[in-house]
Amino acid sequence: MECFSCVDGALEELRLQGSDAATVTGANGLLKRLKEFDVVLCLFVLQAIFLQTGPVSRVLQSVDADLSVSMSLLRGCVGDLSEMRNDADSQWKSIVECASKFATEHDIEPQLLSNQRKRKKKRLDGELASDERDAPNLETFKVEVFVKALDSVLMQLKDRFSDNNVDIIREMS
C-alpha cells in the first residue's frame, strides 16, 4: 500500500504523456479501476493474507532453508490463517476500516458501487420469484472475496503440506 501513490502517479503520467493509443487507453483503464473501492478492498484483503504467508514463502524459497524450521513456520501460518477464518467477522471489520481510511486519504469514495447492469430473467406467467442480484454490499463482498480467498489459501497449504508430508520432511532434515 506504500506504493499506491507511485503507481497512481505513473499511470497518470502514462495516460497524459503516452506515445501510443494502446498505452494511453490501458493506463486510463487501470487508473480508473485503481480508484474504485472494491479494488482497494481487495488490496487490503491480499495484504492481510500475505502478511501471514509471506514469511513462510520466503523461508521455503531460500537456498539454505532449514526444513524443520520451515515446517514449524508453516504450521504456525496455517494456525494463524485458521484463526483469521474462524474470526472472519472481526478481521473483515478491521480490513474494511483500514481500507475506508486509506480510500478517504486518497480521494476514493469508500463505498461499493454496482458496475453491472441488472440482468433480468424471463419469468413465466404467475411466477413471483426474482433471480436478479442486488447491488453488492460489504457482507456479500466478505463472503465472495475474503472468506473464499482464506479458504482457498488454507486448502492449498493443507493439501500441499499434509501431516504425512510434513512428517517425511522433518525426518529428512
Q: Is residue 9 part of a domain?
A: no
Q: Is residue 5 part of a domain?
A: no
Q: Is residue 125 part of a domain?
A: no
pTM for this prediction: 0.79
pLDDT tens, position by position, for the chain (173 residues)? 788 889 989 989 998 888 889 989 999 999 999 999 999 999 999 999 999 999 989 988 888 878 778 888 888 999 999 999 999 999 999 999 999 999 999 999 888 765 555 566 666 776 665 555 555 688 888 999 999 999 999 999 988 887 776 667 666 66
Q: Is residue 103 part of a domain?
A: yes
Q: Which residues neighbour 135 within 8 Å (Cβ) at sequence distance 6 or greater?
A: 112, 113, 114
**Which range of residues forms the domain containing residue 61?**
37-110+134-173
Q: Is residue 79 part of a domain?
A: yes
Q: How many helices (H) and strands (E) does the chain have?
A: 8, 0
- The number of C-alpha atoms within 13 Å of 73 and in the hemisphere containing its C-beta is 16
Whole-angstrom distance, CA of residue 170 vs CA of residue 33: 45
